[in-house]
Amino acid sequence: MARELRAGKVHFAELITQEMGKPVVEAAAEIEKCAVTCDYYAKMAPSFLADEEIPANGAYSGVAFDPLGVVIAIMPWNYPFWQFFRFAAPALAAGNGAILKHASNVPGCAVEIEALMARAGCPDGLMRSLLIGSGAVAELIADDRIAAVTLTGSTEVGSIVAGQAGKALKKQVLELGGSDPFIVLADADLEAAAKTAVTARFINVGQSCVNAKRFIIEEAAADRFTDLFCEGVAALKVGDPMERDTQIGPMARANLRDELHEQVERSIAEGAVAALGGRPIEGDGCYYAPTVLTGVTPKMTAFREELFGPVASIIRARDATHAVELANDSDFGLGAAVWTSDLDRAREMSRAIDAGAVFINGMVASDARLPFGGIKKSGYGRELGSYGIREFTNMKTIWIGPKAE
């Protein structure tokens, strides 16, 4: 799989950009990340799936990891290759089959993924892409031939799918929405924090569950951070996503841009200030100006809702304790970042923050070696690492007795 991904990287990247609009350089990086993850599981799956002996009162006792069967993967458009391979590399290595129900606006990616899998040697029928609408999903989930369900998508869709899978008593892994906090304390390296913050918010045109969205800045550093951050955002190049120097391409669909703008307008009406942007860009394509909202408070739309596009919200915190309170004042709990020079304090804060991952002095990102997932309305279950490969296995206890005297 890794070999085929790299062989077709240019073609796959261009297809991603044509179908959902992300800058082609980012699309190529997405393909490489898929290949790296396949390499990782090709190497590590045998050890992750090896039987584990657990001493008890028998001659032998332990756990074996057997595959569950066929898993239906309901995947989104924002990372059309990565979201599938993040699931498929560990799930297939564990012995499962896969049915891909992809987002309706990336059908070419769905078809190419199935063809790639066939070229990689996947046995006929072990993986299939189904070009079907969302209305057909419930019947698939209920089918006795489906053993489990994985979904990456919105919290609203996740609730529906969870209900359908729960009714059928099928195992689920859900990776849903996020409104990730990016905390910057006064003793942080503000230049490094602001530079990373621009990438953390605006990569993939801000269309990612794990993008940083709420920038919670300690009062003493707020003015300086805001100036540095706005300088970085203003320098982003908006343009044709097929051009290699473009950093901000169009949003994936017109309705998504319209929804984002409506959220921005509500936030401004509630008292936020558009320090930059705050409007759609006229002309061809679903472009939205990179936007920074300041003066955001917990009662505002920009704080309470997930803004899925190139809009950043800056919130002021009195101190570190208040910053954690603001971070946790959310329905979501996917990722979080903390910037400070006091690493002991950062570790304490990381334990207090409601999130599936906390990155200190860095940007939240998924990594094949580490478990990835959320809590609260950001979902449940884990992908990646040794934990992810075992999500779609039967952790079977095996006991042999009697124990020798």
Whole-number Cα distances in Å, 110 to 15, 19, 81, 83, 127: 11, 11, 8, 11, 11
Average pLDDT over residues 42-67: 97
pLDDT of the residue at 405? 73
| CB atoms closer than 10 angstroms to residue 298 | 12
β-strands 291-294, 171-175 pairing: unpaired
Q: How confident is the model at residue 145 (pLDDT cuts 50, 70, 90)?
A: very high
d(CA 196, CA 31): 22
Q: Alpha helix locations (H) across 273-374?
A: 301-304, 320-328, 343-352
Q: What is the Cα–Cα distance from 183 to 188, expressed in whole angstroms?
A: 10
In this prediction, residue 377 has a pLDDT band, given cuts at 50, 70 and 90, of very high
Each residue of 345-355: b (16+ CB within 10 Å) or e?
ebeebbeebbb
DSSP letter for each residue of 28-46: HHHHHHHHHHHHHHHHHHH
Angle at which helices 24-48 and 82-93 cross, to 10°: 10
Percent of the chain scoring above 70 in pLDDT: 100
Q: Using CA atoms, how far apart are residues 293 and 94, in angstroms rounded to an integer?
A: 45
CA dist 78 and 21 (Å) reads: 9
Find out whether 210 and 334 touch, Cβ atoms under 8 Å: yes
Q: Is the pLDDT of residue 327 over 80?
A: yes
Q: How confident is the model at residue 43 (pLDDT cuts 50, 70, 90)?
A: very high
Query: Strands, DSSP E only, in 361-392?
Result: 375-376, 379-380
Per-chain mean pLDDT for the chain = 98
Domain positions in the chain are 2-176+378-400, 180-360
| Amino acid occupying residue 207 | Q
Q: Model confidence over 101-125: pLDDT tens digits?
A: 999 999 999 999 999 999 999 999 9
The values of phi and psi at residue 362, to 5°, are -165, 180
Place of tokens 């359908």: 164
Q: Per residue in 386-398, pLDDT tens?
A: 999 999 999 999 9
Q: List Cα–Cα distances, 271 to 98, 160, 179, 275, 302, in angstroms.
A: 48, 34, 20, 12, 11
State the pLDDT at residue 404: 79
Q: Per-residue pLDDT for 403 more than 90?
A: no
E strands present in 193-262: 212-218
| Residue 52 annotated as catalytic | no
pLDDT tens per residue, range 196-247? 999 999 999 999 999 999 999 999 999 999 999 999 999 999 999 999 999 9
- Mean pLDDT of the region 44-49: 98
The structure tokens 């993850």 sit at 37
Strand partners, 62: 53, 398
314/303 Cα distance (integer angstroms): 9
Selecting among 34, 209, 230, 286, the annotated active-site residue is 209
**Structure confidence at residue 97 as a pLDDT band (50, 70, 90):** very high
> What CATH superfamily is the domain 180-360?
Aldehyde Dehydrogenase; Chain A, domain 2 (3.40.309.10)
Whether 32 is a known active-site residue: answer: no
pLDDT of residue 126: 96
Tell the CATH superfamily of the 2-176+378-400 domain: Aldehyde Dehydrogenase; Chain A, domain 1 (3.40.605.10)
Q: Whose CA is closest to 223, among 186, 197, 196? A: 186
Annotated active-site residue in 4, 19, 30, 175: 175
